[in-house]
Amino acid sequence: MTEWTRIGRDEDVVDGEPFAAALDDGTAVALYRFEGAVYAIGDICPHEDVRLSEGFLDGGTIECPLHQSCFEIRTGKVIEGGPAYEDVPSFDVRNEDGALFVRAKR
Ligand code: FES
């Protein structure tokens, strides 16, 4: 995906709560509002096929609901300690008149 995809409204993404969405091609993405900015990362755990957004959000990290691997919501980077060892992708986020768009980072 190289183009911007409209994924929701700014007010859909609230502090402390993941917003699960999907791109047109079915790619699962979750958006997070953290410290005044909105971030988007891939929402499928690289360890097994489960949505990270159903896990536990703790500040800037999301914990997988199945085996507790943790990922940084700003970057998608995995934090050592769980069984997952691969990062999830992160996406650029753009706000255009209250509509949120995402695209793969270049
Ligand atoms: S499924 Fe996420 S850590 Fe195992």
Q: Which atom of ligand 1 is nearest to the CA of 45?
A: 2
82 C-alpha to center of ligand 1: Å?
8
Condensed to tens digits (0 to 9), the pLDDT of residues 87-96 reads 999 999 999 9
Question: What's the number of domains the chain is made of?
Answer: 1
Half-sphere exposure at residue 28, Cβ-oriented, CA atoms within 13 angstroms: 13
CA distance linking residue 46 with residue 60, whole number of Å = 19
CB atoms within 10 A of CB 46: 19
- Using CB distances shorter than 6 Å, the residues near ligand 1 are 45, 47-48, 50, 64, 66-67, 69, 82-84
Minimum CA distance residue for ligand 1 atom 1? 48
**What CATH code is carried by the domain that includes residue 39?**
2.102.10.10
Per-residue tens of pLDDT for the chain, all 106 residues = 468 999 999 999 999 999 999 998 899 999 999 999 999 999 999 999 999 999 999 999 999 999 999 999 999 999 988 999 999 999 999 999 999 999 988 7
Q: Which residues of 71-88 are buried (b: 16+ CB within 10 A; e: fewer)?
A: bbbeebebeeebebeeeb
Structural domain that includes position 32: 5-104
